[in-house]
């Protein structure tokens, strides 16, 4: 296995000495990049892009080849598991994901952990990316949380508030738990397979956990996230595999999330980094948390905001700079370069002053 040339990302998670703050960006391989749009057009559809390992490898590497990022993330989708379960995933332009088959009680009772061979395209893409990266930066694997997957599966598509699963939570929680249990086993198996394929860190996206109140978040989301984390391979090929947990809208539950067994908590933009560090920074590393819309501002405003976030942490390891959610398609690629450059420059000076 090739030694990492840039292991800032992993060292910061594990609070080992670093000389600057690492940075990567959620959805860093995406429509804001002209090279991504060209490859997407070549593929013909989003699912074809995901399911063709060579193309998924190509777009995974595009932001790494363009910017001095400190981590890569495999190009895939959080909904690959329900697709492998036979629900028939597609993406409708400007509307998002849609399943050909909605779940009902009978279908839920027959759901099983999918044959991982149906997800082999993800693992093949990971192997290709690791080979092409040649040890430049670590590679992150990922999956959606059981609650988030269930929200899409029950609704059949993306819909504000996901009323169908919220109704199921009220009227038939036993049925919902049976669905979440199968999904938790599936997510754990899928992430472990990504680790075997070469992922050097894994991330759980609990995109819709914030829809719940505290009691329901604990019961219907966090319980299964803990179950997954407990079942993950944490050391592979003599290397530690960190787990990142990101619950969008979960800033009120930071202490609960930090107790999940994860190594790093992803933060959205609803909380300051300073507050998050004060609450849980001694227990876990923190990832985040610049508002994605900030990248639509002027170069000077981007520099100012990025510097403020980096400075608010106070320097030292334990922070990985990121956005509070995925980058949007309308961002100028040049602004992303300015952001990364600023994080590195400001944090270098800050880390130097702290040593």
Active site residues: 27, 31, 40, 77, 152
3-state DSSP: the chain helix, strand, coil percent, rounded to 5? Answer: 55, 15, 35
Token pair in block for residue 77 = 């989708």
DSSP track, 310-326: HHHHTSSSSEEEEESSP
What is the separation of C-alpha 37 from the centre of its chain, rounded to a whole number of angstroms? Answer: 21
- SS3 at position 101: coil
Lookup: tokens for 347: 């944090």
Helix or strand run (H / E) with residue 244: strand 243-247
State the residue for tokens 């060579």: 54
**Residue holding tokens 């909380």?**
271
Question: Tokens at residue 252, please?
Answer: 């009120």
CA distances from 21 to 242, 287, 339, 353 (A): 17, 11, 12, 13
What is the rounded distance in angstroms from the CA atom of residue 223 to the CA atom of residue 295? 35
């Amino acid at each position: 296995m090739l030694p990492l040339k840039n292991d800032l990302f992993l060292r910061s998670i594990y609070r080992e000495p670093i000389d600057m703050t690492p940075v990567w960006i959620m959805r860093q391989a995406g429509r804001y990049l002209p090279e991504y749009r060209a490859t997407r057009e070549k593929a013909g559809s989003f699912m074809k892009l995901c399911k063709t390992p060579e193309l998924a490898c190509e777009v995974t590497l595009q932001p790494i080849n363009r910017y001095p990022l400190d981590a890569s993330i495999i190009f895939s989708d959080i909904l690959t598991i329900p697709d492998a379960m036979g629900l028939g995933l597609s993406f409708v332009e400007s509307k998002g994901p849609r399943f050909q088959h909605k779940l009902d009680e009978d279908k839920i009772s027959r759901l099983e952990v999918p044959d991982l061979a149906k997800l082999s395209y993800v693992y093949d893409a990971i192997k290709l990316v690791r080979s092409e990266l040649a040890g430049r930066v670590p590679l992150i694997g990922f999956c959606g949380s059981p609650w988030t997957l269930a929200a899409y599966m029950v609704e059949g598509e993306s819909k504000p508030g996901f009323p169908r699963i919220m109704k199921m939570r009220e009227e038939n929680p036993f049925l919902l738990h049976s669905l979440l249990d199968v999904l938790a086993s599936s997510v754990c198996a899928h992430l472990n397979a990504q680790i075997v394929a070469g992922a050097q860190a894994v991330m759980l996206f609990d995109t819709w956990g914030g829809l719940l109140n505290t009691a329901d978040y604990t019961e219907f989301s966090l319980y299964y996230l803990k179950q997954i984390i407990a079942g993950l391979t944490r050391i592979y090929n003599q290397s530690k595999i960190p787990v990142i947990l990101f619950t969008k809208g979960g800033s009120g539950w930071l202490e609960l999330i930090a107790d999940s067994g994860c190594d790093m908590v992803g933060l959205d933009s609803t909380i300051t980094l300073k507050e998050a560090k004060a609450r849980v920074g001694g227990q876990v590393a923190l990832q985040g948390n610049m508002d994605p819309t900030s990248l639509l501002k002027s170069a000077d405003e981007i520099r100012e905001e990025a510097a403020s976030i980096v400075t608010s942490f106070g320097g030292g390891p334990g922070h990985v700079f990121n956005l509070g959610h995925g980058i949007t398609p309308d961002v100028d690629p040049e602004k992303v370069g300015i952001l990364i450059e600023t994080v590195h420059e400001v944090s270098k000076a800050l880390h130097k002053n702290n040593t």
